[in-house]
Amino acid sequence: MTLAATDTLYVALVCYALGTLAALLSLFTPMKRLQHGGLLLMVAGFVAHTFWIGTICTRTGHPPITNLHETAAFTAWVVFAVELGLWIRYRVYAASFFVYPLVLLLLTLSAVIGEQFAVLDPQLRSNVFTAHLLLSTVGVACLMIGVAFGLLAFLQDRALKEKRRGRLWEWIPSLSVCKSVSYRALAVGFSIYTAGLMAGILWSYRTTAGLMDLRVKQIGAVVAWVLFAVLLQQYIAGAYRSRRTVLLSAGAFVAIVVAMLGISR
């Protein structure tokens, strides 16, 4: 990778780190300026991040999702893009306390691995494979946002029930917004993720004549899919406030992380 491309990734990382720090510090002060400063830093990081993705796309001719280094970075980018969209729509500050660290974590993971960017083997290249990679990554990003907002809904519900305010009380939007964003993100994310898995199975069938291998990545992905399906059903049944839902979300999140860590070239 050229110095310029690596540099933009590190610039993004530094901006994300400072933005996350500012957002977390704002928990201890009511001054919204700190939150706004954090958001500006995150947006600056996002611009550098976008530049990095653009560079990789130009060089390889496909999105940067062929190894863990690229996938982690691309997932972080999509997660922040969705978060930014939601902020514009709902002005939800509290999500930043979960989403910014998640974005930072993913990009740190990517930077620590620091592999060379990968050009897909021409034999592997197909629209189905690209669709599998893109849809799975975007689906995972939406599901992560859904989990973050689900957690906010749970915290808000507890605070209202127990009549106790925590530090997040002021930053969390109404229960109705948390629930509706969480449900929509999960529903959209689950559909996209399912399509991504189907594309992966189809591609596997075409190239190896088997439906899928049973390696960590595949097992993690399928377990996550099942857990998210159950989670979605909980939402439809109106049981999104329960402790079980939070445990399910945590399980699904871990399964997704396991699947991601299992990604290799």
Partner 1 sequence: MIILVGLNHRTAPVDVRERLDVPDPQLAQRTAALRGLAGVDGATLLSTCNRVEAIVSTRDEDVIETIVDWLAASAATTRTELEKHLYILRHGDVVKHLFRVASGLDSMIVGEPQIGGQVKKAFLTAHELGTLDSLLTQLYEQTLRVAKRVRTDTGIGEHAVSVPYAAVELAKKIFGKLGGLQVLLLGAGDMGELTAEHLHAQEVKQVFVANRSFDRALELAQRFDGAAVQFDRIDEHLASCDIVIASTAAPHFLIEPQQVERALDSRKRRNLFLIDLAVPRNINPGVGRIDGAYLYNVDDLQQVADQNLGLRQQRAREAEHLVLREVESFRKRLVAQDAVPTILELQQRLEAIRATELEKCLRRVGPMTAEQREAIELFSTQMVNKILHYPILQLKEASEEPHERESLRRTIRKIFGLR
Task: Annotate 99-165 with DSSP letters as a single string.
Answer: HHHHHHHHHHHHHHH-PPP-PPPTTT--HHHHHHHHHHHHHHHHHHHHHHHHHHHHHHHHHHHHT--
Residue written as tokens 């002060």?
Answer: 29
What Rg do the C-alpha atoms of the chain give, in angstroms?
19
Q: According to the binding rule CB under 8 A, does residue 177 interact with partner 1?
A: yes
| Closest separation in Å from C-beta 36 to partner 1 | 10
* CB burial readout 135-160, b (16+ within 10 A) else e: bbbbbbbbbbbbbbbbbbbbbbbebe
Q: According to the binding rule CB under 8 A, does residue 165 interact with partner 1?
A: yes
Which of residues 55 and 156 has its CB atom nearest to partner 1 in the complex? Answer: 156
- The correct pick among 117, 241, 246, 255 for binding partner 1 (CB under 8 A) is 241
Tokens, residue 117: 């960017």
Tokens, residue 155: 């915290």
- The correct pick among 88, 121, 163, 243 for binding partner 1 (CB under 8 A) is 163
**CA-to-CA distance for 50 and 81, rounded, in angstroms?**
10
Q: According to the binding rule CB under 8 A, does residue 208 interact with partner 1?
A: no
**CA-to-CA distance for 232 and 235, rounded, in angstroms?**
5
Which of residues 77 and 154 has its CB atom nearest to partner 1 in the complex? Answer: 154
Choices 17-25, 127-135, 204-212, 236-244; region in contact with partner 1 by CB under 8 A: 236-244
Question: Within 10 A of 117 (CB to CB), how many other CB atoms are there?
Answer: 19
Fill in the per-residue mask, 23 to 62: x = in contact with partner 1 (CB under 8 A), - = not in contact.
-------xxxx-----------------------------
Which of residues 119 and 236 has its CB atom nearest to partner 1 in the complex? Answer: 236
Choices 67-75, 165-173, 223-231, 254-262; region in contact with partner 1 by CB under 8 A: 165-173
Cβ atoms of residues 246 and 149 within 8 Å: no
Which of residues 159 and 258 has its CB atom nearest to partner 1 in the complex? Answer: 159
Q: According to the binding rule CB under 8 A, does residue 113 interact with partner 1?
A: no
Choices 41-49, 61-69, 71-79, 168-176; region in contact with partner 1 by CB under 8 A: 168-176
- The correct pick among 4, 113, 226, 239 for binding partner 1 (CB under 8 A) is 239
Q: Which positions touch partner 1 (CB under 8 A)?
A: 30-33, 156, 160-161, 163, 165, 170, 173-177, 237-239, 241-242
